[in-house]
Amino acid sequence: MSTETLVFNPDPGLYVLLLSLESPSLIRVGALGEYFLTAGLYAYIGSAKGPGGLRARLKRHLRPGKEKKIHWHIDYLLQHTSVQTIFYTRDLSQSECKWASAVTRLGTCFPPRFGASDCSCPGHLIQIVDVEVNRLYSLLTASGWERIFI
């Protein structure tokens, strides 16, 4: 699917990016330092509460890395990975940190403190082994999250 055809909601919300890393990579993540990431799937949990809501944030995440300034930890990772699936919800009754904690139960939080500069979470990036991906889908869709395959 072309990202041009994706219609995103302009409301504020939460999102999960399911990212695919093709090959093991040494990745610099800003002030966190360099981390060796194994190939596979990673889930990143974030929130879009600023102007333009989910639409602005998700379109930014899908734009190729060289077209934008590095701002968040996720920007470093997006230079090495492809977005496979996006989940989003407009339900803000639970924080992105609560969801990060829930998703961590399906995988391994790594690197520590990734995407968690403004909170006290272990981190907002979770490596998910392939067999757990269906549990991720179930967890989110059972709570009313929408899913977009990229």
CA angle 91, 93, 94 (to 5 degrees): 100
Residue 116: CB minimum distance to Zn ion, A: 5
Task: State how far the Cα of 19 lies from the Cα of 37, in Å rounded to an integer.
Answer: 12
Among 6, 56, 62, 97, binds Zn ion (CB under 5 A): 97
Among 119, 129, 143, 147, binds Zn ion (CB under 5 A): 119
Tracing tokens 């907002």 back to the chain, one arrives at: 124
Residue 9: CB minimum distance to Zn ion, A: 22
Contact status: 121 vs Zn ion (CB under 5 A):
yes
**Beta carbon nearer to Zn ion, 39 or 119:** 119
Residue 58 CB neighbour total at 10 angstroms? 24
CA angle 143, 140, 113 (to 5 degrees): 120
**Beta carbon nearer to Zn ion, 106 or 116:** 116
Instruction: Number of residues interacting with Zn ion: please give it, by CB under 5 A.
Output: 4
**Beta carbon nearer to Zn ion, 12 or 59:** 12
Task: State how far the Cα of 103 lies from the Cα of 97, in Å rounded to an integer.
Answer: 10
